Each structure stands twice: as C-alpha cells, then as structure tokens.
Amino acid sequence: GYTPSTAYIMTAFGCNYQGEVPISAVTDLVKWFKDLCADRNVEVPAICLADTVGWANPDQIRRRIDAVREIVPDARMALHLHDTRGLGAANFHAALEMGVDLFDSSVAGLGGCPFAGHGDGKAAGNVCTEDMVFMCHELGIETGIDLDKLIDAARMAEEIIGRPLAGRIMHSGGLDKYRQKSATE
C-alpha cells in the first residue's frame, strides 16, 4: 500500500502571484497530511516547508516551524530554502536554532528559480550546500562532509556552467589555513 513520506509545502512563505502565504494556509495543509497519515495508520514522518521563491525571513521561519510543531510535534522538520533576496543563510541559521536538521540545498546554489526576482533570470537559486556546511562547521555542528572537496565540486560546477555562481565560500575559501597560520606565528 501507499505509505506517506515527506510532505513538501511549496511556497510556504510567499508567492509572486498571490503574495504572502498566511500561516493558516500552511497549517491547513499540515492538518490534511496528518489526517491522510492517520487514515493509513502511520505517523507523519516529515514536513518540509519550502521557500520556493525566496520570500522567507528568519521570523517567518520560526513562526511557521512553531505552528507546524503544534500540529505534528513528533514529525521531523525540513526546509527547502532559496537565497533569492539574500536571506538564505539567515533563514538556515534560524532553522538550525529551532532544531531543524534536514535541509535541501545545492552545490554552488545551482537550480532554484532564477526568475523568482524581477523575472530577468538573474535571481539567486537554492541555498549553497558548501555555505551551509561551512556555517555548520563554524557553529561546531559536525556534518561528516569534507568541506574542501565540496568547495572543489562547487568550483567545478562553476567552470562547467561557464559563469560565476552564487556560492560565497567557494570564492573566499574556508578559514582553516588562516587559523593554522596564526597558530604557528
């Protein structure tokens, strides 16, 4: 039979056609999914709130996570974030502080919706995996990911695409070599 897995709620924060998405629209979908799972005698495994076109800010992240947890406190929370308006890292950090540990991202910020901004194809896409991993490491969160190899992959992606990509850490590099240098001086 059919077993539900992760429920993705797309444009859970805002939509370029309809404006800001009310929390009630998100919670109504969560309640519907909870009922669907109950009908099949399974727990709600995970809810992913997607900031598909980059409307979210950290306060919205916190309020929506709280609202979802009131309905399905045992479900795993996930986020799909975009950096359309430069708040991807701040939103990621807010979610980390709320205990979220499952995120969608992409190497060098590939993908996403480049037309989410002014429609000119220049908007940033998904949050960059390497930037998120760097932040986790800086916060003392172990990821099991080799950041240097991930940065190499991001640089390779940029070379293949043939234009500058959004990742910040791939352009600036990590801090380890500077820390090692200052430790030996």
Residues 56, 81 contacting (CB under 8 angstroms): yes
Active site annotation includes 15:
no
Closest CA to 84 of 58, 107, 117: 117
What are the DSSP calls for 65-123, one per residue? HHHHHHH-TTSEEEEE-B-TTS-HHHHHHHHHHTT--EEE-BGGG-SS-TTSSSSSS-S
Residues 121, 103 contacting (CB under 8 angstroms): no
Point out the catalytic residue in the list 15, 113, 128, 136. Answer: 113
Catalytic site positions: 113
